[in-house]
Chains A and B, each alone.
Chain A
Amino acid sequence: MTDTSPPVVRLDGVTKYFGPVLAVSEVCLEIRQGEFFSLLGPSGCGKSTTLRMVAGFEQPDHGSIFIQGTDVTERPANKRNANMVFQNYELFPHMTVLENVSYGLKIKRVPKAEARHRTEAMLETVGVSGLENRRASQLSGGQQQRVALARALVNEPAVLLLDEPLSALDAKLRKRMQLELKTIQHKLSTTFLYVTHDQEEALLMSDRIGIMSQGRLLQVGTAREIYESPSHPFVADFVGSLNAFPLRLDEVTGLLGVSRLGQAQQVTVGVPGGTQPGTFLQVAIRPEQVRMRPRLDADGAAAGADGKECRVYGMVHDIMYLGPLTHYLVDTPALGRIVSQQLSERRAAPFRAGDNVVLSWEPDATFALGAAGGTAGNGA
């Protein structure tokens, strides 16, 4: 946290109930100037509610919201320096594109000539110039998306709030808009607060991501931090895919626990200080970290137990070809089914169902999800 500029948006213990249901629970968050920040989580996790509270459409039951250092918790939506791009765009159907985009400027009594100039410049920026006199109903989904973006951005908000703005677009257009959004954000250096349930989208676009589940903000970090060092089992499971299995630690050396699985099979995992041998842990490994080679007769007799590399034996159960990638579903007697993700080979997969293989991965690629069984506490 070397950035010393004050946060553009600050949430301080923001809590929201819908009737008896806790929608958002004590969320604390700081979003920096010029940052692309995503709130990521499954539907119903409270991310949209959090966004709507920043916009001013919902009132928090507890906590405060600051925009540019000012407490706006009690301010109505029309008095906040934040603008929203809605999921369904919400363009005014009785107005032209020009009227839609200049609506906010007109309200703020920006002189006509300047408003016109700014509107046209913004339409140009988002790539829909020439459509000024069309109505919203005459635009394609992608064009509506861009107009909605322009209508919000032309007001030069301190923070732009985006509520799953790409979810109504088809996959191809969606990919293109993701990159364009990022480009526009970079060009205008506006702070973006983006809500999505699409992990890939969040990883691709965001400077930082906040993962939400059941109203709580579980982890905030860069895409790499979230993916490689998830601090919560839910985060690990929600972002990317996982092989998860319980593990009994046979030895603990410093911060490294080792589980010996016989025949030179072993799994090592980083553990908190003071962890005792005999502890059961739920651990996980990402499929793309799992290497695979044919099993030889020499395996099992050979050492390998000295090395820290994790390795287990198994048999290929099924092969799923996904284009650039291939997933091998491997049944291991020691850990159950493990998925290994490999780059696809041309023409044919190097393994077949029924092949005996050795799976291996770097010792620090394994990460603990918490005590086995999901409950806290040491030992078995």
Chain B
Amino acid sequence: MTGRRTRPRRAGARTAAWVYVALMLFFLFAPLAVVLAVSFNPTANMNLQFTAFSLRWYHQVATDPLVVAAFRRTALAAVVTAVVSAALGLTGALGAARLSQRWRTVIFTVPLVPLAFPALLFGIGLASFYHAIGAGFSIWATIAGHVILALPFVFLVFAAALERFRFSLLDAARDLGAGSFTIFRTVTLPLLRPAILGAMFLSMAISADEFVIAFFTAGSQQTLPLVLYGRINLGVNPGLNAIGSVLLLITMALAFFAARTSVLELP
């Protein structure tokens, strides 16, 4: 986005840029579009010969108790992950923001390390850890893993928001008689609302389509991606496309809201 807008560009360069972006978007979204399209195709053989528009497969999965239960669990995991990681991330970032520049750099860098860690190893490690402390495998074990996974992203969102945050406004509130909790409720929270919403949508999106951690820790309480994977092992079925499409749309909507809320500054 930091292109040199002020410099006049040659028309050829501009066209090339548009072609590049169009191709990129095509390769990015074409497979997703296929999944989406096929999910509305009533025939059982998965090809791109459309006969009619049908919600047959959606009806099939919506009446499948296993899928419905998994969908509920996924929703639960997403919401709890969002709330917990936002709460932890916000308090952590608020604390870190009060440190000196040097320590702040350290605090804001350390949580990024897990991002570079292979997810598979992280999942196995988490499972071994649960086993070692005697905790069983369940959706809650998965949620704990999702919180850990989402936390670096959430932390980054808050760190960026706090870079621009005018802490002197808190002084103004205190000067007008507000105690710490009132200041948090009436000034800090409303001013950070875009960042909080953005962080929550982001962590929901991360949790909703997460596979590896759920695979190792959910046990019998499977989430939607796990059910999807299980079904693929039983043979490819257009119903999978319906599940995949739902998952896709939810994740994209969340990502969209995440981007929108954190980029848009409330007046």
Contacts and interface: CB of A to CB of B under 8 A. Distances in A.
Nearest to B189: A94
A353 to B, nearest CB: 49
Interface in A334-355: none
Interface residues of B, number: 19
Contacts of B169: 90, 92-93
A57 interface: yes
A77 interface: yes
A48 interface: no
B191 A77 contact: no
A104 interface: yes
Contact of A77 (B168, B175, B182, B267): B175
A107 B175 contact: no
A56 B172 CA distance: 11
Nearest to B187: A92
11 contacts: A56-B174, A57-B175, A76-B174, A77-B174, A91-B172, A93-B169, A93-B267, A94-B187, A107-B176, A107-B182, A151-B176
Interface string A117-150: 0000000000000000001010000000000000
Interface string A55-97: 1110000000000000000001111001110101011111000
A92 B174 CA distance: 12
A148 to B, nearest CB: 9
A77 B266 contact: no
B168 A107 contact: no
A135 B177 contact: no
Contact of A155 (B168, B172, B176): B176
A55 B168 contact: no
Contacts of A83: 175-176
A108 interface: yes
Contacts of B179: 78
Given A86-B168, A103-B178, A107-B178, 8 more contacts: A57-B174, A82-B175, A92-B172, A92-B187, A93-B191, A93-B267, A152-B175, A152-B176
B173 A103 contact: yes
B82 to A, nearest CB: 22
Nearest to A103: B176
A163 B267 CA distance: 26
Given A90-B166, A107-B182, A135-B267, A55 B175 contact: yes
Contact of B172 (A79, A86, A94): A86
Contact of B177 (A90, A92, A107): A107
A294 B235 CA distance: 113
Nearest to A77: B174
Contacts of A79: 177
Interface centre among B173, B177, B267 (most CB of A within 10 A): B177
A275 to B, nearest CB: 51
Contacts of B186: 103
Given A77-B171, A88-B168, A90-B171, A137 B267 contact: yes
A86 B172 CA distance: 8
A366 to B, nearest CB: 46
Contacts of A90: 166, 168-169, 171-172
Nearest to A57: B171
Contacts of A82: 175
Interface-centre pick from B171, B173, B175 (highest chain A CB count, 10 A): B175
Nearest to B191: A94
Interface in B250-267: 266-267
Contacts of A152: 175-176
A264 to B, nearest CB: 62
Contacts of B114: none
Nearest to A108: B177
A150 to B, nearest CB: 12
Contact of A78 (B168, B175, B191): B175
Contacts of A151: 176
A108 B176 CA distance: 9
A95 to B, nearest CB: 8
Nearest to B266: A94
B190 interface: yes
Which 10 pairs show the lowest CB-CB distances between chains A and B? A104-B176, A90-B172, A107-B177, A77-B174, A94-B190, A84-B175, A78-B174, A78-B177, A107-B178, A103-B176
